[in-house]
Amino acid sequence: MSAGSAVTIDVDGVGHYHAIHGLPAPRGDDPIWRAGVPRVLELCAAQGVRATLFIVTADLSHAHARALVRRAHDDGHEIASHSHAHRYDLSTLAPALIEEDLRRSIEAIVELTGERPRGFRAPGYTLSPALVDAIARLGFAYDSSVMEAPMYWVARALARAGLRARGRASASQLGDPRQFLPGYAPPGLVELPISGALGWPWLGTTLTMLPLPVGALSTALARASARANPVVLELHAIDLCDHTDGFDAALVRAQPDVAVPLARKRRRLEAAIASLSRGCRPLAEWAERP
């Protein structure tokens, strides 16, 4: 039996998607912050769900982002850290540089909300012993970077190889495959993993891209497989954007889920969240279970 549930949203700005696909940096304002984040907050409010938002705190230099994150905090959502700069190679940096990034992230969230973030999710879900050590040492109550989804690791390896074959380089790291096996927990940390189903992560893109019965099946399997941990749905703010929101054409080609119409995405995500909403709490509250 699952212990409960949580909806998590990684608020990755559009520049990070350009970096994954080896595209030049985007110009103009960020459609994810302009359109995606307000829609995420509206969806959660309509479903009566308090979620966990993983914020890349470098984005808080923009007044619009600050206002939205403050509003999310006031609405009762948990504001957690998705690092300061969302460097995909964060886990490979020298310990002092890792610590500096995490400290900046903590300070930015304290400054905006008055509260220390309790949770951390690594950029690209990539942990290393040095990063795990820094997360624990800086006093986070939990980490949520592990994914019970070995097929995600395989898909990422194939995507990186495909880009290399076309002469482009992805900023994403391949990472340690053990981190994608069910039951893996980094030593010394409370880990609240992202749920998986049949080897794939329970992601917004699974729900919105695949045929409806597959999405519904993934919801059922993710719920069944969560066992002692809460069932954790992993969304991104880009999940509530589509190609009409002003993305570069090159990104829409590289990231096919952007082309899925917003209305369909909203319907699918509403259904998945509605299946959870009883017993759905921010991750920080699950981390505090005795």
The residue among 191, 210, 189 whose CA lies nearest residue 257 is 210
Question: How far apart (Å, rounded) are the C-alpha atoms in residues 132 and 136?
Answer: 6
User: Contact region for Zn ion (CB under 5 A) — 5-13, 43-51, 66-74, 88-96?
Assistant: 5-13
Q: Which is nearer to Zn ion, 231 or 238 (CB)?
A: 238
Q: CB of 13 within 8 A of CB of 30?
A: yes
User: Contact region for Zn ion (CB under 5 A) — 7-15, 23-31, 135-143, 150-158?
Assistant: 7-15
Closest-CB residue for Zn ion? 12
> Which parts of 124-163 interact with Zn ion (CB under 5 A)?
none
* Contact track, Zn ion, 12-51, x by CB under 5 A: x---------------------------------------
User: Contact region for Zn ion (CB under 5 A) — 3-11, 38-46, 147-155, 158-166?
Assistant: 3-11
Q: CB of 66 within 8 A of CB of 56?
A: no
Number of residues that bind Zn ion (CB under 5 A): 2
User: Contact region for Zn ion (CB under 5 A) — 11-19, 57-65, 181-189, 224-232?
Assistant: 11-19
The residue among 125, 131, 129 whose CA lies nearest residue 153 is 125
Strand 196-197 to 119-120 pairing: unpaired
CB of 226: closest distance to Zn ion in angstroms? 22
Give the one residue of 10, 78, 143, 245 binding Zn ion; rule: CB under 5 A.
10
Question: How far apart (Å, rounded) are the C-alpha atoms in residues 276 and 135?
Answer: 28
Q: Which is nearer to Zn ion, 10 or 59 (CB)?
A: 10
Residue 59 binds Zn ion (CB under 5 A): no
Q: CB of 134 within 8 A of CB of 128?
A: no
- Ramachandran region, residue 127 (left: φ > 0; alpha: ψ -120 to 50; beta: rest): beta
Contact residues toward Zn ion (CB under 5 A) are 10, 12
